[in-house]
Amino acid sequence: MAETAERSDAPRERMVRDQIEARGVRDARVLAALRRVPRELFLREGLEEFAYQDTPLPIESDQTISQPFVVAYMTESLRLAGGEKVLEIGTGSGYAAAVLAEIAGEVFTVERYANLAASASERLARLGYANVHVLCGDGTLGWPEYAPFDAIVVAAGGPEIPRSLREQLAIGGRLVIPVGATAREQRLVRLTRVAEHRWDEEDLIAVAFVPLVGAEGWREGAERPSREPPRAAPSPLS
Ligand code: SAH
């Protein structure tokens, strides 16, 4: 039995070592979470054999489950100590929500596609993640009923940081989001709410997420923002 378990965990262990630790993710909570969540169970039938490869994979509705390293890096960037209330935008398969749920106290996750929200919710419940709550809706507006959040992570790229999300951060809270002038290429940005009206912004790494589509994101079917981002105008935060 033990031998079987060891054998079936080996690809996941190798993934954590070679793709995640090797690239500098050091947070013990994050590494432990990645070691526990069975990524193969979040994939479409037939793709299980690719579960521990260093790549994003297709899920329903033309969306993707993120590359394991990116999930690890973003989770580490949230600087979770354990027990927090976390908001995720872009549930997708539910994989990143499961990783977050291994560390945080409660995870609230919003997905715009009803089929993805339903299957992720069912899958997370089946795997015993009772601390994950899934909502189908426009995540650019956050989930105001449960705000403020200690951490917010956005798994899709927007043209700017949605105001609703920065407003739903607790003081001291961190928001990690891909932001880019085009819909498919972004910089990962971390915003820390240091006071009621003050947010510090840090540039992290280059990423390539699917577009964040919604009232405070990209317009449906287009590569243009719902509202023009205040590119030339001076930012009220700087
Ligand atoms: N975290 C996911 C990856 C999801 S990919 C995982 O681990 O599998 C990004 C997801 O964001 C897609 O499912 C997409 O439908 C969703 N999305 C895009 N814009 C959104 C919005 N405004 N609100 C909620 N979800 C959104």
Domains of the chain: 10-207 (3.40.50.150)
Q: Which residues line ligand 1 (CB under 6 A)?
A: 63-66, 89-90, 92-93, 95-96, 110-113, 116, 138-140, 155-156, 210, 212-214, 217
Query: Measured from the CA of 90, which atom of ligand 1 is nearest?
Result: 11
**193 within 8 A of 201, measured Cβ to Cβ:** no
Element (H, E) at 10: helix 2-15
CA 96 vs CA 13, 17, 155: distances in Å: 17, 18, 9
pLDDT in tens, the chain (238 residues): 444 555 568 999 999 999 999 999 999 999 999 999 999 999 999 999 999 999 999 999 999 999 999 999 999 999 999 999 999 999 999 999 999 999 999 999 999 999 999 999 999 999 999 999 999 999 999 999 999 999 999 999 999 999 999 999 999 999 999 999 998 899 999 999 999 999 999 999 999 999 999 999 999 886 566 765 544 444 444 3
Yes or no: say if 154 and 161 are a contact pair by the CB < 8 Å rule: no
Protein residue whose Cα sits closest to atom 18 of ligand 1: 212
